A and B are shown apart, each in its own frame.
Chain A
Amino acid sequence: MVIDRRKAILFSSAAALRFILFFAFPSLPDLLTGRVEISTPVTSFKRLQEGLFLYTHNAPLLLPLFALVPPSLFSPLTALLYILLDLLCANALIKITESGESGSSRLFTSPRKDMKWDSIAVAAAYLFNPFTIATCIGRPTSVFTNCAILYAITQAVSGKPITSMLTLGLASYLSLYPALLLPPLILLCYDRKARDTKTPPAATFSTATFVSVFSASIAWFLYLSKVLTGGSSEYLASTYGVHLLLPDLTPNVGLWWYFFIEMFDSFREFFLGVFWLHLGGYVGALCIRLRTQPLFVITTLLGIFAIFKPYPSISDTSLYFAMLPLYRHIFPLMRYTFFAMATILYATLLGPAFYYLWIYAGSGNANFFYAITLVWSLGLSEIVADSLFAVLRDEWEVERPEMKGKDIRQI
Chain B
Amino acid sequence: MKHISCLLLSLLLGLLVSADPKYKELLNLQPLNPASLLASFNFKSNASLQSYEQQHFKYIPRSLGQILQHAKTRELHLRFSTGRWDDESWGARPWGGTKEGGTGVELWAWVEGDSDADSFARWVTLNNALSGLFCASLNFIDSTRSTRPRMTFEPASSVFNASSENLYLLHGSLPREVVCTENLTPFLKLLPCKGKAGIASLLDGHKLFDASWQSMAIDVRSVCPENGSECSIEMEQTVDMVLDVDRSKRPRDNPIPRPIPSEHLQCDQSKPYAGDEACYPSDANLGQSWTLAEIFGRPIQGSCLAEDSYGQLRDSVCINVPHEREVNLYGDAVETKNEAGTSRCFAIPASNPFELVLSHIGPQTFNKVSQPPLYASRSFTGHGQERGGVQTLLTNPSTSSSIQFVYFETLPWFMKPYLHTLTARLTTASTTSPDIIEETFYRPALDRRRGTQLELLISVPADSAVILTYDFDKAILRYTEYPPDANRGFDVAPAVIRLLPSSGNSSSNSQAPLYIRTSSLLLPLPTPDFSMPYNVIILTSTVMALAFGMIFNLLVRRFVGADEVEGWNLAALKAKARGRVAVLVDRVSGKGQKLEKTVQ
Contacts and interface: CB of A to CB of B under 8 A. Distances in A.
Nearest to A365: B529
B561 A263 contact: no
Contacts of B537: 259, 262-263
Contact of A52 (B420, B532, B536, B559): B420
A255 B547 CA distance: 12
Counting chain A CB atoms within 10 Å of each CB, the highest count among B442, B540, B546 belongs to B540
A302 B532 CA distance: 31
Interface stretch (A102-110, A195-203, A386-394): A386-394
A36 B526 CA distance: 13
B419 A54 contact: yes
A59 B447 CA distance: 18
Interface in B514-538: 526-529, 532-533, 536-537
Contact of A392 (B384, B448, B478, B559): B559
B548 A278 contact: yes
Nearest to A307: B547
Contact of A249 (B383, B386, B475): B475
Interface string B560-595: 111101010000000000000000000000000000
Given A406-B561, A409-B559, A374 B543 contact: yes
A406 B563 contact: yes
B475 A250 contact: yes
B599 interface: no
B111 to A, nearest CB: 26
A4 interface: no
B476 interface: yes
A251 B476 contact: yes
Interface stretch (B192-200, B227-235, B316-324, B550-558): B550-558
A46 B418 contact: yes
Contact of A262 (B387, B444, B526, B528): B528
B480 interface: yes
Interface in B299-340: none
Contacts of A5: none
Contact of A411 (B442, B528, B565): B565
A34 interface: yes
B385 interface: yes
B539 interface: yes
A410 interface: yes
B560 A262 contact: no
Contacts of A358: 385, 526
Contact of A410 (B420, B446, B548, B553): B553
Contact of B387 (A34, A367, A400): A34
B19 interface: no
Contact of B552 (A54, A255, A285, A408): A285
A360 B384 contact: yes
B547 A381 contact: yes
Dominant SS among interface residues on chain B: mixed
Counting chain B CB atoms within 10 Å of each CB, the highest count among A56, A259, A360, A393 belongs to A259
B13 interface: no
Interface in A250-267: 250-251, 255, 257-265
A396 B558 CA distance: 9
Contacts of A248: 447, 475
A374 B541 CA distance: 10
Given A261-B476, A367-B529, A381 B543 contact: yes
Contacts of A400: 561
A261 B560 contact: no
A271 to B, nearest CB: 8
Contact of A265 (B387, B477, B478, B544): B478
B561 A409 contact: yes
A377 B545 CA distance: 12
Contacts of B479: 261-262
B553 A260 contact: no
Interface residues of A, number: 61
B544 A258 contact: no
Interface string A3-18: 0000000000000000
Interface residues of B, number: 51
A317 B134 CA distance: 57
B533 A263 contact: yes
Contacts of B477: 249, 261
A370 B536 contact: yes
Contact of A408 (B418, B527, B546, B560): B560
A259 B529 CA distance: 12
Nearest to A381: B547
A201 to B, nearest CB: 28
B529 A285 contact: no
A381 B550 contact: yes
A378 B557 contact: no
A385 interface: yes
B547 A360 contact: no
A378 B476 CA distance: 24
A170 interface: no
Contacts of A56: 444
A326 B259 CA distance: 84
A264 B533 contact: yes
Contacts of B527: 365-366
B448 A247 contact: yes
Contacts of A257: 476
A378 B555 CA distance: 19
Contacts of B532: 262, 367
Interface in B391-418: 418
A377 B546 CA distance: 10
Interface string A263-282: 11100000000000010011
Nearest to A390: B554
Contacts of B561: 400, 403, 406-409
Contacts of A381: 543, 546-547, 550-551
Contact of B540 (A255, A281, A389, A407): A255
Given A34-B386, A53-B420, A285 B563 contact: no
Nearest to A382: B550
A233 interface: no
Contacts of A46: 418, 473
B446 to A, nearest CB: 8
Given A46-B418, A251-B476, A285-B555, A409 B567 contact: yes
Given A259-B536, A359-B526, 4 more contacts: A49-B418, A54-B444, A409-B562, A410-B558
Interface of A: 34, 36, 46, 49-50, 52-54, 56, 238, 247-251, 255, 257-265, 278, 281-282, 285-286, 289, 304, 307-308, 358-360, 365-367, 370, 374, 377-378, 381-382, 384-385, 388-389, 392-393, 396, 400, 403, 406-411
12 contacts: A53-B418, A54-B442, A238-B446, A255-B540, A258-B536, A259-B536, A261-B479, A264-B480, A308-B547, A384-B547, A407-B563, A409-B561
